[in-house]
């Protein structure tokens, strides 16, 4: 049986794979699992619900809220805000659980449901399994009369609470820095330019006019060319690109050169080590990070730990080890002292703070890491499990690894959010990486 929860919550084509009835049942089941510890107290359980601007979010928010309220949970809807804002507000309001409705970087027709436990923490696999199991035996009814939960629309101070949190997390004056921010017509369209401006930066916002249908449409962190062009056009010091729910941040220097999540982590890790903030001199990344990050960290005297792909696994390692910085090449950067999940706006603030602190350009800071040629091919597949069990794929991987030797590496993995298999190859030169990755992708496509 296919697991309902993927790498980052429940995701699928809205109104097909992810329907309002499914969201209703998820709301009921999650209410039972995530508020059960509060059921013996006199205080009514509370949930925070936020969303990105895509049109299906309205429908799904209504269904989820109804499901939770039917089980006696008061629902506070905070409107359109980034995922990390919902995580923060779950803790700040003292809620028992939080829900973000977003498909992140996926196209508009998709949507997703991400749950947070009390404190704004992402759920462990076993808790997601418990919610999924609870859906098989949902009660027919629920409390009546005064026992039914309330659905309270739009918490009017939610955005201001989040902005205050960001200003306290990164307090350095950013005056003199001109930044272009691509908001992806998503959840960051209002709050992120406000946060950068409040810190003193001169902000040029692009793709900050969502209309419920244009989220991630040719813009944001998956279309970095837009912010590259805008940086050159406006003579900016840097550009920052977020995804639809703003838990990612990718950067562009003043010359339009991309600075990815690995390079951002290298910059922040070195800064935090110098300032005595990098606990245990350790950075946590995933197996997808460029080999150049490992080499840069070795040179800086910083230990690099790697986890499975997914910021939830980075978070688990950060929490268990007591570390202070982690993230993914895709731009999910986690600063546990200031947030319980990846926060693209916070990442942008921290990156600009390092520029202000050192007086160096982003290009100079990014030079601390040399990016080795890396090719990533996303191969559409109909059955991801068939790829992992294929002897042809196993033999092709072995041949590629033998060819690359110690000068590169190969990584194949299924996407946790889409019907894709990701083929990644690193090599000493770009041509070799392209050739080997293309050969492996062709094998995967034929299975």
Rounded distance, CA 182 to CA 243, Å? Answer: 9
Sign, Cα dihedral of 288, 289, 294, 295: positive
Contact 363, 254 (CB under 8 A): yes
Determine the average pLDDT of the residues in 123-143.
Answer: 91
Instruction: Determine the distance from the C-alpha atom of residue 362 to the mean position of all C-alpha atoms in its chain, rounded to a whole number.
Output: 22
Q: Are residues 329 and 233 in the same domain?
A: yes
pLDDT for the residue numbered 112: 97
| pLDDT band with cut points at 50, 70 and 90 for residue 378 | very high
pLDDT at res. 1: 56
For 192-224, write each residue's pLDDT tens digit.
999 999 999 999 999 999 999 999 999 999 999
Is the residue at 2 inside a domain? no
Residue 139 confidence (pLDDT): 82
> Which residues face 179 on adjacent strands?
203, 238
Same domain, 165 and 136: no
Helix (H) or strand (E) holding 108: none
Are 221 and 327 within one domain? yes
Q: Is residue 54 part of a domain?
A: yes
Rama region for 207: left / alpha / beta (φ>0; ψ in -120 to 50; rest) = left
Q: Is 388 a catalytic residue?
A: no
- Whether residues 429 and 357 share a domain: the answer is no
Identify the domain containing residue 324 by its residue range: 160-366
Same domain? For 108 and 228 the reply is no
* In-domain check, residue 4: no
Residue bearing the bigger pLDDT, 56 or 415:
56
Residues 94 and 204 in one domain: no
- Claim to verify: residue 133 and residue 232 sit in the same structural domain: no
State which of 89, 124, 156 marks the end of a domain.
156
Q: Is residue 293 located within the same domain as residue 393?
A: no
User: What does the pLDDT look like over 322-342, one tens digit per residue?
Assistant: 999 999 999 999 999 999 999
Q: What is the pLDDT of residue 298?
A: 94
pLDDT band at 263 (very low <50, low <70, confident <90, very high): very high
| Distance from the Cα of residue 419 to its chain's centroid | 19
Domain contains 361: yes
Question: Same domain for 354 and 417?
Answer: no
Which among 65, 102, 104, 289 is annotated as catalytic? Answer: 104
Of all residues in the chain, what percent carry a pLDDT higher than 90? 85
Segment 390-435, tens digit of pLDDT? 999 999 999 999 999 877 889 999 987 778 999 999 998 999 999 9
pLDDT bucket at 75, cuts 50 / 70 / 90: very high
Question: Would you say 132 and 28 are in contact if contact means Cβ atoms under 8 Å apart?
Answer: no
Binned at pLDDT 50, 70 and 90, residue 288 comes out as confident
Tell me: do 395 and 334 sit in the same domain. no
The last residue of one of the domains, among 310, 338, 366, is: 366
For 93-104, write each residue's pLDDT tens digit. 999 999 999 999
Inside any domain, residue 320: yes
Mean pLDDT within 286-297: 91
Entry pTM? 0.89
Within a domain: 260? yes
CATH code at 53?
3.40.120.10
Q: Would you say residue 1 lies in a domain?
A: no
CATH number, domain with residue 438: 3.30.310.50
Query: Quick one: 303 and 394 in the same domain?
Result: no
pLDDT band at 41 (very low <50, low <70, confident <90, very high): low
396 and 312, same structural domain? no
Q: Please tell me the total count of domains within the chain.
A: 3
343 closest CA partner among 257, 437, 411, 268:
268
Q: Report how far apart the first and last C-alpha atoms of the chain are (Å, whole number).
A: 21
Residue numbering of the annotated binding site for Mg(2+)? 104, 243, 245, 247
Confidence of residue 91 (pLDDT cuts 50, 70, 90): very high
Summary mean pLDDT of the chain = 94
Whether the CB-CB separation of 392 and 439 falls below 8 Å is answered with no
What is the C-alpha to C-alpha distance for residues 150 and 66, in angstroms, rounded to an integer?
Answer: 9
Greater pLDDT, 6 or 134: 134
Position 312 confidence tier, pLDDT thresholds 50, 70, 90: confident
Indicate the pairing of strand 282-286 with strand 258-259.
unpaired
What confidence tier does 311 reach under pLDDT thresholds 50, 70, 90?
A: confident
| pLDDT category of residue 83 using cuts at 50, 70 and 90 | very high
More confident residue, 88 or 389: 88
Predicted confidence band at 6 (pLDDT cuts at 50, 70, 90)?
Answer: confident
Of 101, 136, 156, the residue that ends a domain is 156
3-state secondary structure of 307: strand
Q: Is the pLDDT of residue 46 over 80?
A: yes
Query: Assign residue 322 a region: left if phi > 0, alpha if psi is -120 to 50, beta otherwise?
Result: left
For residue 441, tell me if it sits in a domain: yes
Look at residue 40 in the predicted model and tell me its pLDDT: 64
Q: Which residue has the higher pLDDT, 407 or 265?
A: 265
């Amino acid at each position: 049986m296919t697991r309902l929860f993927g790498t980052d919550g429940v995701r699928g084509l809205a109104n097909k794979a992810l329907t309002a009835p499914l969201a209703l049942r998820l709301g009921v089941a999650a209410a039972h699992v995530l508020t059960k510890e509060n059921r013996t107290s006199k205080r009514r359980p509370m949930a925070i619900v936020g969303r990105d601007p895509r049109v299906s979010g309205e429908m799904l928010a209504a269904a989820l809220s109804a499901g939770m309220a039917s089980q006696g949970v008061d629902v506070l809807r905070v409107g359109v805000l980034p995922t990390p804002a919902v995580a923060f507000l779950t803790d700040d309001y003292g809620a028992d659980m939080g829900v973000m409705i977003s498909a992140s970087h996926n196209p508009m027709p998709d949507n997703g449901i991400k749950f947070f436990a009390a404190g704004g923490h992402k759920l462990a696999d076993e808790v997601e399994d418990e919610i999924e199991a609870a859906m098989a035996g949902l009660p027919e009814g629920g409390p009546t009369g005064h026992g039914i939960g309330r659905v309270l629309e739009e918490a009017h101070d939610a955005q201001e609470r989040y902005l205050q949190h960001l200003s306290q997390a990164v307090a350095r004056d950013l005056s003199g820095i001109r930044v272009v921010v691509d908001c992806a017509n998503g959840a960051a369209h209002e709050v992120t330019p406000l946060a950068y401006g409040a810190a003193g930066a001169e902000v040029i916002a692009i793709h900050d006019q969502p209309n419920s249908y244009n989220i991630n449409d040719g813009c944001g962190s998956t279309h970095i060319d837009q912010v590259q062009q805008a940086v050159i056009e406006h003579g900016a010091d840097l550009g920052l690109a977020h995804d639809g729910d703003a838990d990612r941040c990718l950067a562009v220097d003043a010359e339009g050169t991309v600075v990815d999540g690995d390079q951002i982590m290298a910059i922040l890790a070195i800064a935090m080590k110098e300032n005595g903030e990098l606990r245990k001199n350790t950075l946590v990344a995933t197996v997808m990070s460029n080999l150049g990050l490992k080499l840069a960290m070795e040179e800086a005297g910083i230990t690099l730990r790697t986890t499975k792909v997914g910021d939830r696994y980075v978070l688990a390692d950060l929490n268990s080890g007591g570390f202070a910085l982690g993230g993914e090449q895709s731009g999910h950067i986690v600063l546990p002292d200031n947030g319980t999940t990846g926060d693209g706006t916070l990442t942008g603030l921290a990156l600009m703070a390092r520029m202000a602190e050192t007086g160096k350009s982003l290009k100079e800071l990014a030079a601390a890491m040399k990016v080795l040629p890396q090719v990533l091919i996303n191969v559409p597949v109909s059955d991801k499990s068939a790829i992992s069990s294929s002897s042809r794929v196993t033999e092709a991987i072995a041949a590629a690894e033998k060819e690359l030797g110690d000068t590169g590496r190969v990584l194949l993995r299924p996407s946790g959010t889409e019907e894709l298999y990701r083929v990644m190859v690193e090599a000493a030169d770009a041509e070799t990486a392209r050739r080997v990755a293309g050969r492996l992708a062709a094998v995967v496509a034929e299975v």
